[in-house]
Amino acid sequence: MPQRLRILFISPEVEPFAKTGGLADVAGALPKALARLGHDVRVLMPKFRGVERHAGALTPVIARLRVPIGDRTQEGALLEGRMGQVPMYFLAQDHYYDRDGLYGTPEGDFWDNCERFVFFCRAAVEALRVLGWTPQVIHANDWQSGLVPVYLETLYRDDPALTKIATLFTIHNLAYQGVFWHYDMPMTGLGWDLLTPAGIEFYGKINFLKGGLAFSDLLSTVSRTYAREIQTPEFGCGLEGVLQERSPVLHGVVNGIDYDVWNPASDPAIPKGYTAQDLQGKRACKLALQGELGLAQEPVPLLGMVTRLVEQKGLNLVLDALPGLLAEGVQLALLGTGDPALEQAFSQAAREHAGRVAVSLGYDAALAHRIYAGADFFLMPSRYEPCGLGQLISLRYGTIPLVRWTGGLADTVIEFDSGKQTGTGFGFAPFSHGALLECARRALTVYRQPGLWTRLIRNAMAADFSWEASAREYVSLYRKALKAAAP
């Protein structure tokens, strides 16, 4: 029986408590998968407004947690709840976290984000000194927890309760780094000697993510291809040098999805369930979706998109390719929210092509399920994509992904080969709408051959991206981190 590990998973967002993106999905599912493998895993996140709705009654475990912030002490508390079998620690500090929005409002980021997440990181470390439970491994995620490994290696280096903790830091999206002006340095409590290229300095500013990259025992990101890409200037967002230096300890582990939540056979959000053997329900889901969104209920190929409306997702390619796609007779159903200019452009397209293009602006989990189930294809022409969950969900629902070959998209979708009848989707490499169109035409050729099409759907549904395999890979990284951290 391999040793049971004590793991503290630190994440700013965890589904279902608080979510802005894919990290929340990971943080909601990976800890449960680790627990199923027998490990003692616990999760720490801020007590954002509304988490109680999903967490039920919370029990205080540290009633008064005193955390140094610059030359002041800021008080918080640690409350315990549960996520299935997994203990959840919520760091409460209402002045920082009891607000609408996690990091800001539509007008922009909160002005005190540096302070809010200095507090989060430092409180995490302070809590471990008094909690009565010490993890062997801390798994920190994204810039919001980037200072945790820094504190462990500097201010708390000689704390006997903390010295042996190994750290793994995971990058879910390198583009979000938590960069703040240097005047905030005293608030971190870290010495000015850390505001240097070898420390957390980035073009004269403080960079939380860089802290995570430079001070953790092991690094990972959410696909092998993205792990390679971020070491190049094109994808490195200015941190490619640091990542090249740390290349020997940088790993790629692809995300899974929660197969209980995403299951076309039992999904309560879709009008009719279905399986790979019996796809009748999928046809019913498509008809219902067309009806719901005001699309013509015709047997034409339906492209779905569920996405943040940001430049990263290649939405301009979709807008440019739209006339060509419509000429092929397809319909488009898009659910998303984000950049006002993109929201406007897609709304305009929906008005111009009523009955053929449907655009729903907003965040709507249930509609997302119905699009994953009801569409024939799922479009993800991202400029870059650390892992991507949309294509994994759509595979599970037999909705064929059309992707750009980048990051996790390249690692999880396999081009369909009509001759061998292998593969799960279609992809293209150049970031151009012409390449997207050409890819869509290839896909439509298969769509029009019912025998081949059913085979492709079954291949997609047979792909396995449940969390178990990825959770096992993380366990082997935790063990590696422990070895790396051993004195």
CB of 369 to ligand ADP, least distance (A): 9
* Contact pick of 103, 259, 363, 453 for ligand ADP (by CB under 6 A): 363
> What is the contact mask toward ligand ADP in residues 161 to 200, using x (rule: CB under 6 A)?
----------------------------------------
- Give me the least distance between CB of 274 and ligand ADP, in Å please: 19
Q: Which is nearer to ligand ADP, 259 or 453 (CB)?
A: 259
CA angle 170, 174, 180 (to 5 degrees): 105
Size of residue set near ligand ADP by CB under 6 A: 17
| Of residues 140 and 335, the one with the C-beta less far from ligand ADP | 335
The CB-of-182 to ligand ADP minimum distance in angstroms stands at 29
Any residues with CB less than 8 A from the CB of 111 and at least 6 apart, and which? Answer: none
Q: Could you tell me the two tokens for 210? A: 């860089």
- Select 115 or 258, whichever has its Cβ closest to ligand ADP: 258
Binds ligand ADP (CB under 6 A): choice among 263, 275, 316, 337: 337
**Nearest-angstrom CA–CA distance, 314 and 325:** 15
Min dist CB 110 to ligand ADP, Å, is 20
User: Taking the complex as a whole, how short is the minimal distance between the CB of residue 175 and ligand ADP, in angstroms?
Assistant: 9
Q: Shortest approach of ligand ADP to residue 144 CB, angstroms?
A: 14
User: Quick one: 21 or 238, whose CB is closer to ligand ADP?
Assistant: 21
Among residues 98, 364, 415, 473, which is the contact residue for ligand ADP, using CB under 6 A? 364
User: Which single residue brings its beta carbon nearest to ligand ADP?
Assistant: 22
Residue closer to ligand ADP by CB (options 78, 303) is 303
Span from 28-36, 304-312, 422-430, 448-456 in contact with ligand ADP (CB under 6 A)? 304-312
Scanning 38-46, 89-97, 305-313, 427-435 for contacts with ligand ADP by CB under 6 A, the matching segment is: 305-313
Asked if 371 contacts 389 with a C-beta cutoff of 8 angstroms, the reply is no
Rounded to a whole number of angstroms, the minimum distance from the CB of residue 393 to ligand ADP is 6
Using CB under 6 A as the binding rule, whether residue 16 contacts ligand ADP is answered as: no
| The one among 145, 170, 290, 307 contacting ligand ADP by CB under 6 A | 307
21 binds ligand ADP (CB under 6 A): yes
Structure tokens belonging to residue 177: 């780094």
Interface with ligand ADP includes 22 (CB under 6 A)? yes
Per CB under 6 A, 311 contacts ligand ADP: no
User: Beta partners for 74?
Assistant: 67
Site for ligand ADP in 221-240 (CB under 6 A): none
Residue 306 touches ligand ADP, criterion: CB under 6 A: yes
Chain position carrying tokens 């201010």: 155
Q: What is the Cα–Cα distance from 185 to 274, expressed in whole angstroms?
A: 55
Longest dimension (CA), the chain: 70
- Binding residue (CB under 6 A) for ligand ADP from 58, 270, 368, 439: 368
CB 217 within 8 A of CB 166: yes
Q: C-alpha 52: how far from its chain's center?
A: 22
Q: Give the residue with the Cβ less far from ligand ADP, 13 or 376.
A: 13
d(C-alpha 315, C-alpha 307), whole Å? 9
- Taking CB under 6 A as the binding criterion, the range among 186-194, 213-221, 364-372, 478-486 that sits at the site for ligand ADP is 364-372
Shortest Å distance, C-beta 433 to ligand ADP:
21
Window 370 to 409, contacts with ligand ADP (CB under 6 A): 387-390
Positions in the binding site for ligand ADP (CB under 6 A)? 21-22, 25, 306-308, 335-337, 363-365, 368, 387-390
